[in-house]
């Protein structure tokens, strides 16, 4: 799941990588997608670095995140070394224009947790962990936010999940504190109230934020649209697991979200999996 909302989502009619016990090679490895782009899994450090540069440009340069990174101009954290990195590249320019990172159950055990564990108490998800992956650091270059890039990423992610017999995805979906021209937590509180009413997961999957956004002290009655990426996840059948956490470094409120392959609506299942 993701961290930036600056993506237009359409509707349908590190250092050396650790070896993983998952399959990332497939026809998607170098396959061109629509609009002159190709989607593939990073195999080399320079490909990961290119994704980290894009992340830095979007998160720090565009959204104002304060990143504690060991490499100037790159968004790098301790989880990167344990993740698979999915990349979309513009074929004409060779520029990386979209990315996700994926932390598998095996690698989460090796690093000690999911990133989401640092923001939420995920105790109630323990029964899902053996087949649960974490999606994170989603971003798309501003010149490519027409939808094709995020759809290519989602298609590759769905195929990865099925091929490796994984069925659940979690992540922190961010609501920037500056959203639709409004500054402050009121927007995030209002979006939380909307999705709480319509897309809240069953109570057995609820999680608790470690640093909660102070919902009760904010105006949660604003008529605002959720970020495009969150709306896209909800269309794919995702559920919200509880109230948002406050992430001061990224200047955002993070909603904990869960999406299961079994919950994909039939039209998206056919689009992404041909089933």
Q: pLDDT value at position 63?
A: 84
Locate 130 and state its tokens.
């053996």
CA 37/CA 97 separation, integer angstroms: 9
Contact 24, 100 (CB under 8 A): no
233 to each of 61, 150, 158, 178, 268, how far by Cα in Å? 25, 11, 13, 21, 11
Q: Taking the CA of residue 145 as centre, how many other CA atoms within 13 Å lie in the half-sphere pointing to its CB?
A: 14
Domains and CATH numbers, the chain: 27-264 (3.40.630.30)
Q: pLDDT value at position 27?
A: 38
Residue with tokens 């990423």, as numbered in its chain: 153
Angle at 26 (CA atoms; ends 23, 27), nearest 5 degrees: 175
CA 160/CA 154 separation, integer angstroms: 10
Q: Which helix (H) or strand (E) holds 240?
A: strand 239-240
Q: pLDDT value at position 99?
A: 97
Q: pLDDT value at position 9?
A: 39
Locate 112 and state its tokens.
């000690």
State the virtual CA torsion across 42, 48, 54, 58 in degrees, nearest 10.
100
Residue with tokens 């759809």, as numbered in its chain: 151
Neighbouring residues of 149: CB distance < 8 A, sequence distance ≥ 6: 7, 35, 37, 88, 97, 98, 140, 141
Q: Would you write out the chain's pLDDT as a tens digit for each of its 275 residues?
A: 545 444 433 333 333 333 344 555 443 444 444 569 999 999 999 999 999 999 999 999 988 889 999 999 999 999 999 999 999 999 999 999 999 999 999 999 999 999 999 999 999 999 999 999 999 999 999 999 888 898 899 999 999 999 999 999 999 999 987 655 656 799 999 999 999 999 999 999 999 999 999 999 999 999 999 988 899 999 999 999 999 999 988 889 999 999 999 999 999 888 888 86
Contact 18, 106 (CB under 8 A): no
CA 9/CA 51 separation, integer angstroms: 20
CA 83/CA 16 separation, integer angstroms: 11
* Full DSSP string of 38-77: EEEE--SHHHHHHHHHHHHIIIIIIT------SSTTS---
Q: pLDDT value at position 181?
A: 61
Q: pLDDT value at position 28?
A: 43
CA 273/CA 121 separation, integer angstroms: 32
């Amino acid at each position: 799941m993701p961290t930036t909302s600056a993506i237009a989502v359409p509707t349908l009619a590190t250092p050396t990588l650790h070896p993983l016990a998952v399959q990332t090679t497939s026809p998607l490895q170098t396959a061109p997608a629509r609009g002159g782009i190709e989607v593939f899994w990073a195999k080399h450090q320079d490909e990961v670095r290119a994704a980290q540069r894009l992340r830095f440009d979007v998160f720090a340069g565009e959204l104002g995140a304060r990143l504690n990174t060991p490499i100037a101009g790159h968004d790098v954290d301790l989880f990167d070394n344990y993740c698979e990195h999915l990349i979309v590249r513009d074929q004409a320019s060779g520029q990386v224009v979209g990315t996700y990172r994926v932390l598998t159950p095996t690698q989460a055990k090796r690093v000690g947790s999911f990133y989401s564990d640092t923001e939420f108490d995920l105790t109630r998800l323990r029964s899902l962990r053996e087949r649960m992956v974490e999606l994170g650091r989603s971003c798309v270059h501003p010149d490519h936010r027409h939808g094709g890039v995020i759809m290519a990423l989602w298609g590759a992610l769905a195929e990865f999940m099925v091929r490796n017999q994984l069925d659940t995805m979690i992540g922190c979906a961010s609501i920037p504190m500056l959203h639709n021209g409004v500054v402050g937590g009121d927007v995030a509180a209002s979006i939380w109230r909307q999705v709480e009413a319509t897309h809240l997961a069953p109570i057995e999957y609820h999680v608790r934020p470690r640093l909660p956004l102070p919902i009760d002290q904010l105006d949660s009655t604003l008529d605002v649209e959720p970020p495009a990426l969150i709306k896209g996840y909800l269309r794919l059948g995702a559920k919200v697991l509880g109230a948002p956490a406050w992430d001061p470094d990224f200047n955002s409120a993070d909603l904990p979200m869960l999406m299961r392959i079994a919950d994909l609506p039939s039209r998206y299942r056919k689009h992404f999996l041909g089933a």
